[in-house]
Structures are given as C-alpha cells and as structure tokens.
Chains A and B, each alone.
Chain A
Amino acid sequence: MPQVTLTVNGKQHTVEVENRTLLVEVLREKLALTGTHVGCDTSQCGACVVHVDGISAKSCTMLAVQANGTSVTTIEGLAAADGTLHPMQEMFREHHALQCGFCTPGMVMSAIDLVNAHPAGLTEQEIREGLEGNLCRCTGYHNIVKAIAAAHPLMHAKA
C-alpha cells in the first residue's frame, strides 16, 4: 500500500493510503482531525479548506499522494498550545461570525490565507470576493465579513 508522509499542524505523520484516498480522508479518518469538514464533496462549498504549504486548498479535491511531503495546517492547528485562539478565531467569536458552525473551519482557513495575501488591507468587496469558494448555508456572511475585517489589523500588527 502506498505511504505518504506529511506534516500536519507541525507534527510529522506517515500513513498508509490508497492512491485514490483524498487528503480530507487522511485528515479526518486516519488522523482523527475532524475539524475539517466535507460539505458538498463537489469542490464548491469550501468547508474542507486547509492550508497546504501555507496556501488555501480544498482538501476534498486533492489526493493524499499529491500532498506527500507537504506541510498541512488545519483548523486544529491555529490556536496556541495554551488555548489562546488565533486572531481570526477570536474575531469570529467576537463578531458572532457563525450560526450552525459547519462552514466555519473552512471560512477561517480561507480568511487567514486571504488576510495573509493582502498585507496592505482588504476592502469589504475584496473580502466578499475572496470568500467566493466558501458557502454558508445559514447565509451568515455579514458577520463573517466583519470578523475578517477586524482580524486584518490584528494579524498584521507589528510584533
């Protein structure tokens, strides 16, 4: 059986997979990291978004073998060891940017990549366009957009 080695949330794992195994299946079923969700299974909803080598990707549309040798960050890898939330998570909480919560892990992962990619700032329009690949069935977009706008200065604050 093929083996893949990947670093997930800073920890290296070597797991046996089939060639057809999806990255999201490795995360959820082999590594028990069930924070990454499968919503539509057709690459549209974005509930499965994780970071692969720092860049957002839909883990339901990536083979585990394609992720061999990469570094993957999931929603479980954001908070500090002492439980301090990532600024994006904190702002999602602060602005009540979730209703049922199903889309939230993918929203947060996409949002962090979006903010990282735009250090100079993001307009509301850019945030909304940047979230094109993340669907919220509760239609709670307004507060999600507010949370991302609020997280931007926190993430780019000078240390």
Chain B
Amino acid sequence: MYDFAYQKPASLADAVKALGADGEAKALAGGMTYIPVLKQRLAKPSTIVDLSGLGLTGIKVEGGKVTIGAMTKHCVVAASAEVKAAIPALAALAGGIGDEAVRHRGTIGGSIANNDPAADYPSAALALGATIVTDRRSIAADDFFTGMFGTALEQGEIITAVEFPVPTKAAYEKFRNPASRYAIVGVFVAQTSGGPRVAVTGAGQGGVFRHSAMEAALAGNFSAAAIKGVKTSPDDLNGDIHASSEYRAHLVGVIAGRALAKAG
C-alpha cells in the first residue's frame, strides 16, 4: 500500500478537524474493508484518521429504539442480550458478517459509512428506517445511501451512532458467494410502525435499495405468500461471473420469501 500520515485523535472534535482540514484524509474505523482497499492500492489517502480513540461504543435500548455507537464491533452487537431481545434480526445479521476475526474488529459505523454494495448493515438500516447520527446532524437512512459506496456524509463528517426503531417483526436472509461469503443477494424485511419495508443488498448496481413492489404487496399481509409473483427487474442489478443480473433478480424473490418466513 502507499504510505500515509497517521493520526489517532482523542476527541471527536479533533477527529472532525483533522478530516475537515484535508480533503484527502480518510477515517479508519475497524479497517476490515478499508485496509484491504489500501493494500490493493485502490485508495491513496494523505492521512488516516484512526477513530478508535474516540469511544463511540455501546448499545442502548430505550424509547422503542436501539442506539448503537458507531465504533461498536459486530461481535458485540451479535452477542448483545439487549439487541437480541429488541431486534433479534439485527443481532443475527451482525453475527453473520464475515467471520469471527472480522467481527472482532469491524464496526457498524464503518460498514454504513462505506456502503459496500454487498455489505449487510446497510440493508438493516434501510429496512428498519434507521437514523444515522453524525457529529453535526441526524440523517434518515432513506436519504443516507446515495449509490454504490456513496453516502450523504460530507468530507470530515463522522457517524457517531445509528438508531434503529424496534420493528414488530423483522428478519434478514442472504445468499452467500460460496468463496468470498459476501452476499450475492441479501434481503432485510421489517414490519414497522410505518408499514412493511424491504431492503435488498448485494444485488443493486446502485448499492442497497428498497423494493417498493414487495412493500406494496406486503401491506396488509406480511407473509412470504404475499410476494409470490412480485417481479424484480434485472435492469438495475449487478451481473458478474458469480451471478447474472437475471439470476440475482430471481434470487431477490427467493431470499425475500425466506426472510419473510423467518420473520413469521
């Protein structure tokens, strides 16, 4: 990888300042995606600002929502009795990211800020109608994800927490690439106070997206039977050596059905 300067600020204000002062500086959370990117020389940041000294960890459940600090590791969310009780689908999703060693270092904030098109957490944030809290504002998940690897974050803006409203029902299912184990298609379904929401990861050319046709079909009947026959267009889906866009379109229906069956 190319060399870079390294800073590990002790306060959020200092981290925001370090990132804001230099357009080529980049924040580092757990590094489970970004370090591989650096190793492949796909990025050349001037400075790495390590966020691990800021705290920003912890899980709180109150007022009908689960708030998770941005630097909370996947293994902590997966093992949290509070998350398991409030949104078991979210704990299960965290426990299915990567492998044990990856879950020991990867963070929710890093996953959401990166918005990898095959990442798991963005689908939970979108389907549950999460709010992404940063050092300067709160952003609804519907406005946050702006395309593959794209988010509404400004240069130097740091996610501090993610708030998930507790749904009535929810489940996540994914079809993994047998080698990389990333989702070829992942679907998070949720019955929320605002109605059913369905978010699809792994499949879209623009990253995670909501499946409005399925959401409409689920209104009034939140079950796998309700989405039978709902078509997914392959036009905006990824096609690669692992799966064509037509195959992914088919999988979206299958995996959504499995998620709905699991949600009960």
Binding site for B on A (CB under 8 A): 2, 18-20, 41-44, 46, 49, 55-58, 61-63, 65-66, 110, 113-114, 130, 132-134
Asked whether, in the complex, the Cβ of A55 is within 8 Å of the Cβ of B104, the reply is yes
Asked whether, in the complex, the Cβ of B32 is within 8 Å of the Cβ of A43, the reply is yes
Known A-B contacts A61-B32, A133-B98; A56 and B6 likewise in contact (beta carbons under 8 Å): no
Known A-B contacts A2-B6, A19-B3, A132-B181; A61 and B99 likewise in contact (beta carbons under 8 Å): no
User: Residue A19 contacts which of B36, B39, B48, B181 (CB distance < 8 angstroms)?
Assistant: B48
* Range class of the B interface residue count: 20 to 34
* Smallest CB separation, B57 vs chain A (Å): 14
Given A19-B5, A42-B36, A57-B104, 9 additional A-B pairs, CB 8 A: A18-B3, A20-B4, A43-B102, A56-B104, A63-B31, A65-B50, A110-B100, A113-B100, A133-B99
* Docked complex Cα distance between A148 and B93 (Å): 26
B38-49 toward A: CB 8 Å interface, digit per residue (1/0)? 110000000010
* Smallest CB separation, A16 vs chain B (Å): 14
Asked whether, in the complex, the Cβ of B100 is within 8 Å of the Cβ of A66, the reply is no
User: Residue B101 contacts which of A2, A19, A110 (CB distance < 8 angstroms)?
Assistant: A110
User: Residue A66 contacts which of B52, B102, B181 (CB distance < 8 angstroms)?
Assistant: B52
- Kindly list chain B residues whose C-beta atoms are within 8 Å of the C-beta of A134: 99
Q: List 7 A-B contacts (CB under 8 A).
A: A18-B3, A43-B36, A57-B104, A61-B36, A62-B105, A65-B50, A132-B181
Asked whether, in the complex, the Cβ of B39 is within 8 Å of the Cβ of A41, the reply is yes
Asked whether, in the complex, the Cβ of B35 is within 8 Å of the Cβ of A132, the reply is no
Asked whether, in the complex, the Cβ of B180 is within 8 Å of the Cβ of A62, the reply is no
- Kindly list chain A residues whose C-beta atoms are within 8 Å of the C-beta of B13: none
User: Residue A49 contacts which of B39, B48, B52, B101 (CB distance < 8 angstroms)?
Assistant: B101
Known A-B contacts A44-B180, A132-B181; A66 and B4 likewise in contact (beta carbons under 8 Å): no
- Kindly list chain A residues whose C-beta atoms are within 8 Å of the C-beta of B105: 57-58, 61-62
